[in-house]
Amino acid sequence: MEAELICVHGVWDRVVSCQPVDCGPPPQSHVYFASFSCPWGTTFGKQCTFSCNAPAILQGEDGNWATV
């Protein structure tokens, strides 16, 4: 997204600010039988971890999402 500023008589015509996008915690429906942890927040670039709740087990070894 862009904003256009114009310098008028030596000052900018308005003040703008950029705020990080907050994704919020992942929906539980993305991974059933799992617990999510987002200790550093949920804004753009942050990471969340999850662990499987018993008796579920993690499948896959590389930690990347894959389509089924």
pTM over 0.75, yes/no: no
- Domain hosting 27: range is 22-60
pLDDT band at 26 (very low <50, low <70, confident <90, very high): confident
Q: Would you state the pLDDT for residue 54? A: 85
Q: Is the pLDDT of residue 32 over 90?
A: no
SS3 5: coil
Establish if 14 belongs to a structural domain. Answer: no
Across-strand partners of 12? Answer: 7
Establish if 43 belongs to a structural domain. Answer: yes
Number of structural domains in the chain: 1
Establish if 9 belongs to a structural domain. Answer: no
Percentage of the residues of the chain whose pLDDT score is greater than 70: 84
Cβ–Cβ under 8 Å, residues 26 and 48: yes
Establish if 30 belongs to a structural domain. Answer: yes
User: pLDDT higher for 15 or 60?
Assistant: 15
Establish if 16 belongs to a structural domain. Answer: no
